[in-house]
Amino acid sequence: MTLPSLHSAAAAIIPAAGYGTRMHLDYPKQYHLLAGAPILVHTVRAFIRNRHIRSIIVAVPADMQESTHELFKKYGIDGGTVTITAGGARRQDSVFSCLSLLDQSVDIVLVHDGARPLVSDALISRCYEGAALHGAVIAAIPVKDTLKLCPSGSVIAGTVDRTNLWQAQTPQAARVSHLRQAYDHAGGLDVTDEASLLEMAGIPVRVVEGSETNIKITRPEDLVVAEKIMQAGSCRESRIGHGFDAHRLVADRKLVLGGITIPHDRGLEGHSDADVLTHALCDALLGALGEGDIGRHFPDSDPRYRGIFSITLLEHVAGLMEEKGFSLANADITLICQAPKIAPFAGEMRSILARACRTEPARINIKATTTEKMGFEGRMEGISCHAVVLLESRLEEEGTP
């Protein structure tokens, strides 16, 4: 049997259609605010930022689909990456429904509780890598407390050996073909998680170590714990970077800015596609990381980069950012040109740049200005761009930077 490589396309399914009665709310608990944003928003953002996840499907109560769309829009979650669908009566019904919406290119799927907002980037990656190598894995932590057997509900009948016991968490990750096979085998039988389905179908499931901070919000007191963990994570390292680039306008070249080809009578001259906006952003990220500049990483003397799409370069730089343990808090980009008008394209540019940087479009600002016909930009000889970024170290295991 051939297992997918670590370049397999991956998607996340987030079942969030329950109502969480133990929270004693008059609305589903996943919409309750935690550290300034709904629990579900925090959960979705964690998967948006992971480099392996290319799409996310969220199952919500049927009567809350439209309000969830509006909620995600308010918090800057990109509709191009996230699909919202109606969930089922049971968790397994929601996941099964989401499976039918996966793109055919997806090999690996990670299922994660909508009410587990503190999942770390490292844990998501471990689950993806485990499924790619072994076929199916779940996040879990060893049971630490002594377990007592109480069949009557009050009188102890015995002590359970905890030596080989693990407490299941999510993500639970598997090859899509395995999970579909497991659903076919179960025939609608009630289960509590995806691992149970896979076990019933005889598909081996391995454990990858989860995290004590990857808690599920179930009761009101869980919110207090989650707030404390997030507060601890807010004391993280920040880095600021500035980038600048300029290119000459010439005939017989396409004008590419922010990953979009813009109608214009001339384009920018350069070894790559000369996307001055994306180059400035790359330089700002590299500056914040202390990694030199774009010329050091992608020299114009290297034929591999001739005519290359600059968003590909940005994806490489974003990967370096993740390797160093940082994520993009925000970017402010100023394009300086007399023409063409940039405003009609700014929204699409933000989405493209956000996907490359594994963040939400709301964290990227693009604006343009003229020089009142002064200088080379004013004479329409070229276009320049400034970018400023703020990076933050990511929250990893146990709430530490």
Residue 307 near residue 350, CB atoms below 8 Å: no
pLDDT at 395: 54
- DSSP H or E run through 176: helix 176-186
Name residue 9's amino acid. A
pLDDT at 203 over 90: yes
Parse the chain into domains and list their residue ranges. Answer: 10-234, 238-399
Q: What is the pLDDT of residues 327-374, one digit of tens each?
A: 999 999 999 999 999 999 999 999 999 999 988 888 999 999 999 999
pLDDT at 242: 98
How far lies 399's CA from each of 141, 162, 212, in Å?
A: 16, 26, 9
Give the model's confidence band at 393: pLDDT under 50 very low, under 70 low, under 90 confident, else very high. confident
pLDDT at 394: 66
Question: CATH number of 10-234: 3.90.1150.10, 3.90.550.10, 3.30.420.300, 3.20.20.70?
Answer: 3.90.550.10
pLDDT at 123 over 80: yes
Q: What is the CATH number that goes with domain 238-399?
A: 3.30.1330.50
- DSSP H or E run through 280: helix 276-289
pLDDT at 2 over 60: no
Cis peptide before 299 (omega within 30 of 0): no
- DSSP H or E run through 125: helix 121-134
Q: For the whole model, what pTM was predicted?
A: 0.77
Please tell me the distance from the alpha carbon of residue 392 to that of residue 238, in angstroms, as a whole number: 5
